[in-house]
């Protein structure tokens, strides 16, 4: 029974989405070391994953255009650096790696503007249709410039983890909550449902056992043995249900304490000296404005 439960839990957890998708980016916003950038999560849907990757900048460009009044048709996205090659699979099963890349987004209209964006994490979910085709959703987590002045943001460093603190174990006192805290919502509901079934079966069996026991006391010698036999059978069912409830509860505690949760982004706050270069315009009252570069040094 518990082998089947474990297989079921593993199956329903196979597509667990990263925490920044299910819980939002509010907690990541609090972990930033500075306000030069902000986190944003974007989604794009379609039936062709390769086409989605080609169009993956559309939500980012649309957000910047709507926020700062730029013309999205004039946007140009330039890759500045990439930390690692794209994984061969859709999602990393171990949850300890992802694609990170930095981009420069420029708009030429209505006025020239420059932004910087860093792809922090991405995830692809998919649903199979009856005709064996798939519908995909590409989720992307970006760190994006907070201003339109062209300054290079002081991006923090980011890593990934599926390990959680002891709060999951504390929450697992209520069956299933520890799993939900880790992002395994389906597994949590399976555990809650299992406990409800076991406890309900134990209560029902106890009532039936008690009723047959009373009937045996008041019955004639001819039928009393039959009632006692039924009472014993229901008592055995009750005991099995109690053992099942206790076993599932122990599994719930161990799973909450030891299993890996949904992938989460860890913000490693930037420290040390940073040099940032940003394009600017040098004003000269005796001549036309000239392009220049602003250099900033932070500690």
Contacts of 279 (CB under 8 A, 6+ apart): 114, 150, 291, 292, 293, 294
User: How far, in Å, CA of 251 to CA of 2, rounded?
Assistant: 9
pLDDT (tens place) for every residue of the chain, 299 residues total: 554 455 444 444 445 788 999 889 999 999 999 999 999 999 999 999 889 989 999 999 999 999 999 999 999 999 998 875 555 445 665 555 667 899 999 999 999 999 999 999 999 988 888 888 889 999 999 999 999 889 999 999 998 888 887 888 899 999 999 998 888 888 999 999 999 999 999 999 999 999 999 888 888 888 888 989 999 999 999 999 999 999 999 999 999 988 888 888 999 986 654 555 545 445 444 555 555 555 545 45
Q: Could you tell me the two tokens for 58?
A: 């559309």
């Amino acid at each position: 029974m518990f082998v089947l439960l474990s297989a079921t839990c593993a199956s329903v957890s196979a597509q667990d989405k990263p925490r920044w998708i299910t819980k939002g980016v509010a907690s990541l916003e609090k972990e930033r070391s500075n306000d030069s950038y902000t986190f944003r999560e974007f989604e794009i849907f379609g039936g062709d994953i390769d086409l989605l990757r080609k169009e993956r900048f559309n939500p980012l460009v649309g957000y910047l255009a709507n926020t700062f009044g730029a013309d999205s048709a004039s946007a140009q996205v330039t890759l500045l650096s990439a930390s690692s090659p794209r994984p061969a699979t859709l999602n990393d099963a171990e949850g300890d790696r992802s694609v990170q890349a930095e981009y420069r987004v420029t708009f030429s209209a209505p006025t020239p503007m420059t932004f910087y964006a860093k792809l922090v994490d991405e995830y692809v979910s998919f649903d199979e249709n009856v005709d064996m085709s798939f519908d995909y959703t590409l989720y992307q987590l970006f760190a994006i410039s907070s201003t339109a002045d062209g300054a290079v943001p002081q991006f923090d460093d980011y890593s990934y983890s599926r390990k959680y603190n002891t709060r999951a174990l504390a929450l697992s006192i209520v069956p299933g909550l520890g799993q939900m805290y880790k992002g395994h919502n389906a597994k949590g509901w399976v555990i809650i449902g299992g406990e409800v079934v076991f406890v309900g079966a134990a209560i029902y069996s106890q009532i039936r056992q008690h009723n047959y026991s009373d009937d045996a006391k008041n019955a004639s010698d001819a039928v009393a043995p039959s009632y006692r036999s039924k009472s014993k059978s229901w008592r055995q069912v009750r005991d099995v249900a109690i053992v099942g409830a206790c076993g599932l509860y122990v599994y719930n505690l161990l799973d909450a304490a030891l299993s890996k949760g949904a992938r989460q982004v860890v913000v490693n706050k930037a420290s040390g000296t940073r040099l940032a270069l940003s394009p600017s315009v040098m004003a000269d009252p005796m001549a036309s404005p000239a392009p220049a570069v602003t250099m900033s040094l932070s500690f």
